[in-house]
Chain A
Amino acid sequence: MPYSETHMLKAQVKPSPSLIYNNLTLCGGDLLYAHIRQACAFPTSSLGSPVLTVRKIDSPHADVIHSIVACSHNAATFLVLATDAGLQIWDNTITHLTHVCPLPAAGAVDVAPRNAYFARGVTINVANDGAPHICFGTSGGAVYCLELSESSGKFKSSPVALPKHHKSPITAVGSAYQSRQGRWTEDLGCHLVSCDEEGGIAVWLAQHARAGGYSLVNSIDPTGQPVVSVAVRRDLIVAARLDGAIQLYGLRDGKLRADIGGHSRFISAMDIHPTKDIIATVSEDCTLGIWALPIGGAKASCLLSVCWLHAMLTGVAFCGPTSDDVAVVAYDTDEVHVYKHSG
């Protein structure tokens, strides 16, 4: 087996990660997580040391972070933070805040009184006309896209709203391009997937990233269980639901293709390997699972199953020179565990 419970490194990280969805992301040579209002980074190259130097990202904004996602396009990688105030977009060294996108005021009217207005869920997509753009969701149920100008390397000043569809806060967004970490392949497509708190999933097609550029092509009815993390791979939606199920749906027909019993409760994060059809999921029930997906004729298999006692896992990320190692962090725990791939 390529992974083993014993082939694991651990190191101390401080401060501890918060309990938000998908609280670990790989940006360039750094792994990043959120501690309440602060993004924190540590280099993957230092993972052999028992104590890591964690760099707290020096931001002028002190808003609660709901998503922390690295988005790559060609050679460029951005760190995107979705917060109570909107988006912060940082360069790949995470020293320059290159763009701040406030939450659109118009979206506030759709926010239920029991929710604050915040952004959550971030992905990068490429439209049919080749325009790269960041997509994000809000607690008002809206999804927006923010175009990146390839000529200037800058983001457009205002995001554009997708047509209204979701009636509850967005929990996750994903795309095939995000799942490949910005490595373009012919079969990627231009689809965006958005998910909401009621468990509904919407599939969109991007012709361009300007107003009217997105159209709804498919939707999956709400199941009551929100999708915590979503990826797109080979015309399939890979959706990790809060109750512990990882489900594969057809991108175009919305039909359920597979159901994986990943965890007993409260999945908190999922990452998909950029080049292999495998996923890693973690949960508040202390467990990590690495699964080969039943895609393209392959059979499902469990590559690793571990239990980190007394730790509510909150973030997982493929990392390492070949992206085969798996890093895991836990809520309120000052450690990172890295499961090394023996390949």
Chain B
Amino acid sequence: MSQLAMPLLVVNLGCEMVYILEQRLKAQSIPSDKSCKVLNDVIRTMFDPEYVDKLFAPQDIFTVSQTRKIFDRLAHSSIMRLSESSMDKLFDLMMMGFKYQLLCSTNLNQMLEVTLLHLATIRSIVETLPDKSSAPLIGTVEALVTKNYRDLPAGQGHLLRQSLLRFFQDKRVKVSLFLQEGIQSSLGRIILPSPHNDYVGTVTTYSMSGALEGQEKFKVKSASIDRQEFFVHPVPLGTNLYNKERAKVVPPPRKGDAITGPLKPEEDYKTMGDEYADRRGTGPSEFAYLSALLKVKAPAADNFKLNIFGDEDLAPEPTVSTKKVSSLAFSGGKNDQHLSDVMKTMKVTDGAKGSNAGEADLLDLMDNA
């Protein structure tokens, strides 16, 4: 197992989280000073130097539940509060985002490229904020990522890839955005890149002395399949797919699912937002899609008050709720002490203390917006 997986995991998942949060804050027209605070707090916590140091130390990869706990804490590092259900959905989106980026990488260097693009995009988000104080932290992480992963030999890189994909095994969620843009098939499978190149099917033989004896080219199946059946999404892996200003991608018509066919019922995949067909559109349909994704507007039968992620906790006081977040069960393992150490280094601001005293929680933000 590779001991270099954790930085890539946390950085890439964290950047996906910031993409989603940024988009939600804009969609909800949250005042810019409040949005800026949320984003800066999350980025600052995620890239805190002491935390980053611990992250980049060689270590076993955490379990999914342990990693979820880290991000639960990160998401709550500011004035924003999420219900467990919203956190579930956020985490699913983050997981599926990075999973598809890994699966669609055709060479080992792409893991580094995806990570650096994530960081560069986060930096560009920070550059648009009035408070850019978290930007230098991103630079430090970029340097560490480059130093640790740039010259990784193929064998090490592939072991890293296997370790990461082991983490994502059995995580299968249909994401409306991915379905609509042809990243996932209608059955929820992530569409993989083409297997064809000129080398495949070539057989070269050599004599005992090492001289070239002959070369022959055989027909292979991959050469006859329409390239459109494979991953053809035009944006670089790691791009912010949640950016509203991005041009819509229309996937090509594919026969793929008819060829492979489902063996298991579709309900075996978790589905998010299936009931909302349109991702794009003005006003209600886009809001409806995002609402379904992030449970902004809950049906009348639910008791959630409006919030970015529909927080259950309706406590009106401006301080951070002292109610314990629903515990996330995870099995104890040899990483528990290390996880505990990592969590201690995460400087999560307590809203009741210091300069954050008096900051409103998100419910109040909505009331004041």
**A interface residues (Cβ-Cβ under 8 A, vs B):** 5, 10-12, 15-16, 18-20, 35-36, 50, 64, 84, 113-116, 118, 168-169, 171, 196-199, 224-226, 242-245, 250, 253, 255-266, 283-287, 289, 294, 299-302, 305-312, 331-335
* Chain B residues touching A, majority SS: loop
Max chain B C-beta neighbours (<10 A), residue from A19, A113, A287, A310? A310
Compute how far the CA of A297 lies from the CA of B170 in the bound complex, rounded to whole angstroms. 46
Compute how far the CA of A29 lies from the CA of B285 in the bound complex, rounded to whole angstroms. 55
User: Which one of B15-23, B135-143, B158-166, B319-327 is at the A interface?
Assistant: B158-166
Cβ contacts B209-235/A at 8 Å (1 or 0 each): 010000010111110010001000000
Number of A-B contacts (CB under 8 A): 179
Question: Would you call A312 and B166 a contact (CB within 8 A)?
Answer: no
The answer, yes or no, to whether B49 is at the interface (CB within 8 Å) is no
Question: Would you call B260 and A308 a contact (CB within 8 A)?
Answer: yes
Question: Would you call A114 and B3 a contact (CB within 8 A)?
Answer: yes
Question: Would you call B203 and A312 a contact (CB within 8 A)?
Answer: no
Question: Would you call A258 and B203 a contact (CB within 8 A)?
Answer: yes
Please name all residues of chain B whose beta carbon is closer than 8 Å to the beta carbon of A264 when the two chains form the complex: 106, 194-197, 199-200, 222
Please name all residues of chain B whose beta carbon is closer than 8 Å to the beta carbon of A310 when the two chains form the complex: 185, 189-192, 256, 260
Q: When the two chains form the complex, which single residue of A116, A171, A261, A283 contacts B155, counting CB atoms closer than 8 Å?
A: A171
Give me the 3 closest cross-chain CB pairs, A-B, nearest first: A197-B155, A285-B195, A310-B189
Question: Would you call B58 and A114 a contact (CB within 8 A)?
Answer: yes
Contact (A226, B169) CB under 8 Å given A244-B199, A287-B222, A307-B221: no
Question: Would you call B195 and A307 a contact (CB within 8 A)?
Answer: yes
Question: Would you call B169 and A332 a contact (CB within 8 A)?
Answer: yes
Question: Would you call A226 and B3 a contact (CB within 8 A)?
Answer: no
The answer, yes or no, to whether B208 is at the interface (CB within 8 Å) is yes
Using CB atoms, name the residue of chain B closest to A5: B221
Contact (A261, B199) CB under 8 Å given A118-B1, A242-B158, A307-B225: yes
Q: When the two chains form the complex, which single residue of A171, A302, A332 contacts B170, counting CB atoms closer than 8 Å?
A: A332
Contact (A289, B206) CB under 8 Å given A36-B169, A263-B200, A264-B196: no
Number of interface residues of B (CB under 8 A): 56
Q: When the two chains form the complex, which single residue of A198, A263, A302, A332 contacts B172, counting CB atoms closer than 8 Å?
A: A332
A247 to chain B, nearest CB (A): 10
Please name all residues of chain A whose beta carbon is closer than 8 Å to the beta carbon of B284 when the two chains form the complex: none
Question: Would you call B2 and A244 a contact (CB within 8 A)?
Answer: no
Contact (A259, B195) CB under 8 Å given A168-B155, A198-B153, A332-B170: no
Please name all residues of chain B whose beta carbon is closer than 8 Å to the beta carbon of A64 when the two chains form the complex: 1, 166
Question: Would you call B1 and A302 a contact (CB within 8 A)?
Answer: no
The answer, yes or no, to whether B202 is at the interface (CB within 8 Å) is yes
A327 to chain B, nearest CB (A): 15
The answer, yes or no, to whether B201 is at the interface (CB within 8 Å) is yes
A46 to chain B, nearest CB (A): 15
B51 to chain A, nearest CB (A): 20
Question: Would you call B3 and A115 a contact (CB within 8 A)?
Answer: yes
Question: Would you call A286 and B166 a contact (CB within 8 A)?
Answer: no
The answer, yes or no, to whether B329 is at the interface (CB within 8 Å) is no
